[in-house]
Structure 1
Amino acid sequence: MNFTDPGDYRQRIKKSFARQGVVQAINAEISRIEHRLVEIELPFHPKLTQQHGILHAGVIAAALDTACTYAAYTIIEPDASLLTIEFKVNLMSPGRGERFLFRGEITKPGSNIIVADGRAYALSDGPAKLIASMTGTIMVMKGREGFEE
């Protein structure tokens, strides 16, 4: 893949992120956008927990998927869009923390299919704690009605 974007992807990602209802619902924010890497953070809130008071697996999966997909946006052409077609999440430790960091990174770029890996961390006093990992497969879409950027 030879496409190089001089930085416009940052604005595309920010505009797209602002249109996502799910990230608004969980109070997530983009904290870092780099070529092949995006980080999203969100504060702990009791409304995001499961019955034991830890961050719900669905919230973890949604945030990891979002970080991985936006990492893929940093390597695609401006007229393309993306759609996750598969992911696998491993939950490694209970989601307990004051804040959470979700990092998506491109593992395998491609013109039709992109593979990304994500890591989720709980942040409190002390070192960040790895709570989950994800591998996702993302399809590049061009000229598909309803999926324009």
Structure 2
Amino acid sequence: MKAAGGNAISTESKNRFNHYLGIEIQHLDDQGCKAALKIRPDFYNSIDGVVHGGVTSTLADVAMGYAAAPHVDGVQQCVTVESKISYLAPARGDLLLAESKVIKRGSKIIVMEARITTGDGELVAVALGTYARVKPK
């Protein structure tokens, strides 16, 4: 797949925060993205074994942002304008997965949706986000 201007895109990222968390992009195409995160105990909130909502939200944002405007040479091509997440169940287990899909793609603004599940397939959250294309310097 190629980005606007013919630059090759990939799942590689220079985003230090994503690397710190351990987010892995498993699939990426022009319709969506699948991202995975192995859960570590330092991701728990004050209830032992339950993942903090901010971690779940971050994973959703990453999956939506990648598909909205895939990275070029490891650099993101969009920023989040707004995001909403509905938590449906506590996120527990060893793995979280986020699958995003494009709802509407404009030339500057892209609307995305993501579903976040546990490794066992339990739906724990649904997110909706709006992204704006940017030109990195």
For residue 8 of structure 1, report the CA deviation from its aligned partner.
Answer: 2.8
Q: Which structure's CA Rg is the greater one?
A: 1
For residue 66 of structure 1, report the CA deviation from its aligned partner.
Answer: 0.7
Consecutive unaligned residues in structure 2, runs of 5 or more: 71-75
Runs of 4+ in 1 over 4 A off after TM superposition: none
On the 8 A contact 1:38/1:104 being kept in 2, the answer is yes
Identify the match of residue 22 of structure 2 among 9, 23, 27. 27
Alignment of 1:1-149 (within 5 A): 7-9=1-3, 12-15=9-12, 17=13, 19-53=14-48, 54-74=50-70, 81-124=77-120, 128-142=121-135, 147-148=136-137
Q: How many residues align?
A: 129
Q: Alignment partner of 1:97: what SS?
A: coil
On the 8 A contact 1:55/1:96 being kept in 2, the answer is yes
Give the partner amino acid of 2:32. L
The percent of aligned pairs where both chains have the same amino acid is 24
TM (normalized to structure 1)? Answer: 0.79
CA distance in 2, matches of 1:13, 1:62: 20
Call closer, same or farther: CA 1:11–1:59 in 2, change over 3 Å: farther
For residue 36 of structure 1, report the CA deviation from its aligned partner.
Answer: 1.4
CA distance in 2, matches of 1:99, 1:136: 22
Show CA shifts across 1:15-60 (max 9, x none).
3x2x111211211111111221111101121011111121111111
CA RMSD of aligned residues (A): 2.1
On the 8 A contact 1:26/1:48 being kept in 2, the answer is no
Consecutive unaligned residues in structure 1, runs of 5 or more: 1-6, 75-79
TM (normalized to structure 2)? Answer: 0.85
